[in-house]
Amino acid sequence: MADAPKPNAGGSRAGTKKELPDHFKDYKHVWVAIECEHGVVHPVSFELLGEGRKLADKRGVELAGVVMGGSDEAIAEAIAATFEYGADVVYTVVDPVLAHYRNEPYTKAMTDLVNTYKPEILLLGATNLGRDLAGSVATTLLTGLTADCTELAIDDEGSLAATRPTFGGSLMCTIFTLNYRPQMATVRPRVMSMPERQEGKSGRVVSHPLDMGEEDVITKVLQFVADRETATAQLPYADIVVAGGLGLRSAENFQLVKNLAEVLGAEYGGSRPLVQKGWITADRQIGQTGKTIRPKLYIAAGISGAIQHRVGVEGSDLIVAINTDPNAQIMDFAHLAIVADAVQVLPALTEAFRKHLSVNRMAG
């Protein structure tokens, strides 16, 4: 694991030499893997294009998106969106084998593209798909991969400086891949902001073959059960999130969080201990090891705000802390604080919002 947070002063190891080996010198341009499943592009891909644009401009190179899929129709919209969110070039691999995400053919498609067109930087979303793919691609290419970055920059020597939290967010470290190409990094959804869409912007499309038949792929997709059929939490892209912590004192009191969320049309979630206690399911965990959220309004009820929770919520526009302890860690990063018992405050808030919204709606 890239978790040894000791700055390495250089010296004997191969990776620290300043001079890039000759065979990597023609690696150029910044690439973003566009996650496109069932005709829908994951928003993290656009967030990465926004970030990739800045890196490419700093390096004076092109920004490219990589779009893979089962048919031209399935990826047509994804290609158009990739240009509109900032890409100069789109590399495509289209083959029926790529209709559903599977590790083997997607790894082959991506590594073939990299070996042929040689990007210096390759960014992927730290989603289940992106993490499944990134590890295989980096291992096949034997290059460096920095996971779950929160900040990407180009340093004075033109290298990618990838900053990520480590030890549950207690520390940040900045990681480089100096002697290998491409420099790979993943970024979690909602960590970077969404760039402006430039309607009608277009660019160059480069198609590449897969050279792999269905008979070469051992793993088969028997079925796909979409979340919209099963009411799975959609926390990362919710506009309002209400969450609870151990300050609620009991699993029954978690209902108070759900009640407020319902009135506000919000998603609800909780801190890690609630998952461990079984009060909520893992898909509703907010924080470093759960979901990163970036809502307009985040209400944290009875959450102390340990660093691993903070890492997952600090991109929120407005953070509200409800906690009996005025010195709880959450008070260090909340914008509004109600120092009181969440179990009493939540029903009062639910009632106040219900009345306000109902009365003013009628009056409007």
Please name the amino acid found at residue 28.
K
Our finding on whether 320 is near another protein (CB under 8 A) is yes
Q: Which of 42, 108, 291, 309 binds another protein (CB under 8 A)?
A: 42
Q: x/- site string to another protein, residues 130 to 149, per CB under 8 A?
A: -xx-xxx-xxx-xxxxxxx-
**Residue among 16 and 116 whose Cβ is closer to another protein:** 16
**Residue among 89 and 123 whose Cβ is closer to another protein:** 123
Our finding on whether 348 is near another protein (CB under 8 A) is yes
Q: Which of 84, 307, 327, 342 binds another protein (CB under 8 A)?
A: 307
Q: From the CB of 256, what's the least distance to another protein, in Å?
A: 12
The residue range among 18-26, 77-85, 195-203, 274-282 that interacts with another protein, by the rule CB under 8 A, is 274-282
Rg (CA), the chain: 23
d(C-alpha 32, C-alpha 340), whole Å: 46
**Residue among 204 and 335 whose Cβ is closer to another protein:** 335
Interacting residues with another protein between 8 and 27 (CB under 8 A): 8, 12-16
Find out whether the peptide bond into 326 is cis, omega within 30 degrees of 0: no
Angle, to 10 degrees, between the axis of helix 254-264 and the axis of helix 342-363?
Answer: 20
φ and ψ at residue 124, rounded to 5 degrees: -135, 155
Our finding on whether 170 is near another protein (CB under 8 A) is yes
Our finding on whether 351 is near another protein (CB under 8 A) is yes
Q: From the CB of 245, what's the least distance to another protein, in Å?
A: 13
Our finding on whether 116 is near another protein (CB under 8 A) is no
Please report, for residues 145, 169, 204, 313, 327, the alpha-carbon distance to residue 309 in angstroms, rounded to integers and kept in the order given: 24, 9, 42, 7, 16
Please report, for residues 260, 301, 306, 331, the alpha-carbon distance to residue 266 in angstroms, rounded to integers and kept in the order given: 8, 14, 23, 22
Our finding on whether 40 is near another protein (CB under 8 A) is yes
The residue range among 32-40, 48-56, 201-209, 250-258 that interacts with another protein, by the rule CB under 8 A, is 32-40
Q: From the CB of 271, what's the least distance to another protein, in Å?
A: 11
Angle, to 10 degrees, between the axis of helix 103-117 and the axis of helix 128-141?
Answer: 50
* Exposure string for 182-212, b = 16+ CB within 10 A, e = fewer: bbbbbbbbbbbeebeeeeeeebeeeebebeb
Our finding on whether 327 is near another protein (CB under 8 A) is no
Our finding on whether 332 is near another protein (CB under 8 A) is yes
